[in-house]
Structure 1
Amino acid sequence: MDATELIRDTYDKVAPTYDRDENDSVLVRRLHWFLYERLTWNAVAAVLPEGRNLRILDAGGGSGTFAALFAERGHHVTVLDLSPGMLEQARARFGERGLLARGAFEVGSILSLPFADGAFDLVFCEGDPVSYCTSQYREAIAELCRVAAPGAYVVLGVDNRAAFFVGALRSANKAEAMSILLTGRGTCPYGLPTHAFTIRELEEAVDAAGADVVEIFGKPVLLGEMLEAFEAAHGPGVDLWEAREELLALQERLVHEGYASMGGHLQVMARRR
């Protein structure tokens, strides 16, 4: 089984239960995904034009979490994913919200996008799709930039090498930590191989693909440490979930103030030349 088939089959299996429950009993995990998704969306929403409906590609769009947000704003979204099972979830999400007229759903790979040059007004690729391309991530980024119209935003979410390195150190796996530091190779929570990026790698790959980096930020940044500091400042009885909007505001400050390398993931905001 090649890497593409492994990724497809893994996500087909988890598709029915993939969407995260906002009532997750593990508070830190629930806060992490709340902050991750809001930080991602807020940065993109800030660059969406008023009064103009865009052609948007959500590449590796999975169950359509972000695609539905674009569609709710009136944009037409093509959701592309390797996994037919995940696309079924995305289609169901659009159907439940009355958005099917604003969506298209295609099985495909970001390494070979079945679209013309400049076909989209915004290209969005969040999570691990680019990281799953390991040794071919440059080709994936080039493809994503190719299908963006001149001047269009290309938004990429990828694994952060610094976070993978520190995570391995904290788990006392020093040999794995050194390998990650030198090669960037790690694994996602499903055990699939990924490439974790340095900021310079991203800048070079985006530039070579014909786009200019506007910003690279981390998400979330120093979450565990921030929660400890927040509790110390407010007392042990503070309800962190009730304070999530305040925590989001703190994260919004941190992620855009030079702490990108401390984020769990990196988000690239770039524009096609």
Structure 2
Amino acid sequence: MERHLPRLHGSALRRLPGAADPVEDLLQLLKEGTPMSTADAASLKRRYDEVSPKYDQGGPNAMAIKLFWLTYEHLTWKPVEALLPRDGTSWRVLDAGGGGGKFGTRFAEAGHHVTVLDISPGMLEGARAQFGVKGLLDRVTFVEGNVAALDLPDAAFDLVFCEGDPVSYCLDAYPSAVKELVRVAKPGAPVVLGVDNRYEAFSGALKMGRPEEAFRTLQDGRTTCPYGLPVHAFTVRELEQAVAAAGAELLEIFGKPVMFFDMLKAMAAARGGSSDKPWDAWAAREEILAMQEKLAHEGFAVLGQHFQVMARRRA
């Protein structure tokens, strides 16, 4: 559904020729969001219809954040890919909040049938275009719907994937959303959720000079996405409780990416970058991906930009 821009105060990415400061650009994007006190289906649908034509096309400094999203997508996909059958079996996959088609097309390319569900018709059209370009329309069904009230049968899917923070948009109704996502999974089937991290939202607000907002977020988890919509940022305990109450077994919660820009800053210093010859982070991307993959699964979840929840519906 939606990718949150990283909340940053420093960057080890070298500036591209002619580009503005990537950190300042990102902060400005975040500051331009218009806060909303409530989130409802109509507001969410309307906002994503508005942004759908340019969704996943990057911002004014797309190249500067390319490495961040490369890492984010790598960390998201690798543990999910490991769950998929290797014997040619075709699974039924629910990509809930999957408008845009970024991950849905990956499932289809692997031979699975994907149901892409999104609250925004505009986002679904974006997904349809992606599947069409790749010749995958015979492997997808598009459904307009709300993750908190799925009009889908029980135990219908071999894997449920809900990435891009749809559950965070449900605000106080997030327990219902988690229950719905588990309900439509077959017994024993994986359920994968991507949500906002409260510590990251809190520290991001502080870095942007919004201490009062940071304190409110710390207390109740309420924050705002770059598109001006309210979201719920989670604690690990909230996720543990929601997954258990939904009838699923929690396998892992990890952060993605973890300490990303601080790590790049440290790597730049260690590699001897200078103002005359900046360290080229993009050239070192394979090393960065390997380090992030290791850190993400070594107990640094709370220091991740987002949480990824790996669970399984109880048999």
CA separation in 1, counterparts of 2:70 and 2:309? 19
CA separation in 2, counterparts of 1:22 and 1:238? 23
* Equivalences, count: 272
Deviation at 1:3, TM superposition (A): 1.2
Establish whether residue 168 from structure 1 lines up as the match of residue 205 from structure 2.
Answer: yes
The residue number in structure 2 matching 1:144 is: 181
1:152-178 Cα deviation digits (max 9, x unpaired): 000000000010011111122111111
The residue number in structure 2 matching 1:265 is: 306
Higher relative CO (Cα under 8 Å, sequence separation at least 6) belongs to: 2
Q: Secondary structure at the match of 2:93?
A: strand
* Identity rate, percent: 57
CA separation in 1, counterparts of 2:313 and 2:221? 26
Deviation at 1:24, TM superposition (A): 4.8
The residue number in structure 2 matching 1:204 is: 241
Aligned amino acid, residue 83 of structure 2:
V
Q: TM-score, normalised by structure 1?
A: 0.97
Residues 182 and 256 of structure 1, relative CA distance in 2, 3 Å threshold: same
Q: RMSD of the TM alignment (CA)?
A: 1.5
The residue number in structure 2 matching 1:41 is: 77
Deviation at 1:23, TM superposition (A): 10
CA separation in 2, counterparts of 1:2 and 1:232? 43
Deviation at 1:20, TM superposition (A): 3.2
CA separation in 2, counterparts of 1:134 and 1:183? 10
Select the residue among 114, 133, 138 that pairs with 1:77. 114
Aligned amino acid, residue 50 of structure 1:
R
Aligned amino acid, residue 296 of structure 2:
V
When structure 1 is superposed on structure 2, of 12-21 and 202-211 the one drifting more is 12-21
Q: Secondary structure at the match of 1:194?
A: strand
Is the 2:194–2:309 Cα contact (8 Å) retained in structure 1? yes
Is the 1:218–1:265 Cα contact (8 Å) retained in structure 2? yes
Select the residue among 139, 145, 149 that pairs with 1:112. 149
CA separation in 2, counterparts of 1:147 and 1:59? 11
The residue number in structure 2 matching 1:128 is: 165
Q: Secondary structure at the match of 2:170?
A: helix
Is the 1:11–1:86 Cα contact (8 Å) retained in structure 2? yes
Establish whether residue 249 from structure 1 lines up as the match of residue 290 from structure 2.
Answer: yes
Deviation at 1:238, TM superposition (A): 2.2
Aligned amino acid, residue 244 of structure 2:
D
Q: TM-score, normalised by structure 2?
A: 0.84
CA separation in 1, counterparts of 2:164 and 2:253? 15
Q: Secondary structure at the match of 2:138?
A: helix
The residue number in structure 2 matching 1:17 is: 54
1:169-201 Cα deviation digits (max 9, x unpaired): 112211111111110000111010000000000
Runs of 4+ in 1 over 4 A off after TM superposition: 21-26
CA separation in 1, counterparts of 2:286 and 2:59? 15
CA separation in 1, counterparts of 2:137 and 2:59? 24
What residue ranges of structure 1 are gaps of 5+ in the alignment? none
Q: Secondary structure at the match of 2:191?
A: strand
CA separation in 2, counterparts of 1:173 and 1:81? 32
1:54-74 Cα deviation digits (max 9, x unpaired): 000000001110000000000
Select the residue among 252, 255, 258 that pairs with 1:215. 252
Deviation at 1:48, TM superposition (A): 1.1
Is the 1:22–1:30 Cα contact (8 Å) retained in structure 2? no
When structure 1 is superposed on structure 2, of 59-68 and 230-239 the one drifting more is 230-239
Residues 251 and 22 of structure 1, relative CA distance in 2, 3 Å threshold: farther
CA separation in 1, counterparts of 2:60 and 2:251? 35
Is the 2:39–2:169 Cα contact (8 Å) retained in structure 1? no
